[in-house]
């Protein structure tokens, strides 16, 4: 029975470690996506300003540049805030599942099979939440890109 409890505790810890790795990967990937989106927004802004300059001196280039900068910085800030919120949700979900898994792996021997199953369910739920948040982060980044494209089309009608 003691070996079964040790095996169960090890299984729970392995599942917890896997979920922690998924959380770290999510945070890293979200950061990379945010950096890529910010770079794309900056490039789009620079392209916008360059195109405005090509159109000639009768255009208020500084005004367009300021407006574009304002729109793109707002889009980057909004995307960063959304990703930070998603990361916080992921960390909260993981912390709750990890705490529950630890609690369950420490309970009496006679219930270890039932508790091991419950711990696995908790960690699977946390992993599912991470997958859901990862998908939401991708949607947030796409929305920011589309918003930036909308500003581009609004200013240049292309």
Q: In this structure, how many other beta carbons lie within 10 angstroms of the beta carbon of residue 121? A: 14
* CB contact set of 109 (below 8 Å; sequence gap of 6+): 1, 2, 4, 5
Q: Using 50, 70 and 90 to split pLDDT, how confident is the model at 1? A: low
Q: Across residues 1-20, what is the average pLDDT?
A: 75
Alpha helices (H) along 106-156? 112-156
Q: In this structure, how many other beta carbons lie within 10 angstroms of the beta carbon of residue 10? A: 11
Q: Using 50, 70 and 90 to split pLDDT, how confident is the model at 56? A: low
Alpha helices (H) along the chain? 2-55, 61-105, 112-156
For 131, the token pair is 């997958």
For 145, the token pair is 């890109």
Q: What is the C-alpha separation between 12 and 105, in angstroms, rounded? A: 7
For 19, the token pair is 């979920």
Q: What is the pTM of this model?
A: 0.50
Q: Are 68 and 51 in contact (CB under 8 A)?
A: no
Q: What is the C-alpha separation between 39 and 141, in angstroms, rounded? A: 12
pLDDT tens digits for range 106-142: 665 556 677 777 777 888 888 888 888 888 888 888 8
Q: Are 129 and 25 in contact (CB under 8 A)?
A: no
Q: Are 25 and 137 in contact (CB under 8 A)?
A: no
> How far does Cα 123 stand from its chain's mean position?
19
């Amino acid at each position: 029975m003691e070996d079964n409890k040790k095996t169960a505790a090890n299984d729970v810890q392995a599942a917890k470690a896997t979920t922690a790795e998924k959380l770290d990967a999510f945070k890293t990937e979200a950061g990379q996506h945010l950096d890529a989106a910010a770079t794309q927004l900056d490039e789009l802004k620079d392209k916008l300003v360059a195109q405005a300059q090509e159109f000639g001196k009768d255009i208020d280039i500084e005004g367009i540049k300021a407006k574009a900068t304002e729109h793109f910085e707002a889009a980057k800030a909004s995307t960063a805030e959304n990703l930070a919120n998603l990361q916080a949700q992921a960390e909260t979900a993981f912390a709750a599942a990890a705490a529950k898994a630890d609690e369950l792996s420490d309970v009496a021997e006679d219930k270890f099979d039932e508790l091991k199953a419950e711990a696995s369910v908790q960690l699977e739920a946390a992993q599912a939440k991470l997958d859901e948040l990862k998908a939401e982060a991708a949607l947030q980044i796409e929305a920011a890109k589309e918003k930036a494209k909308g500003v581009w089309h609004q200013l240049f009608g292309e």
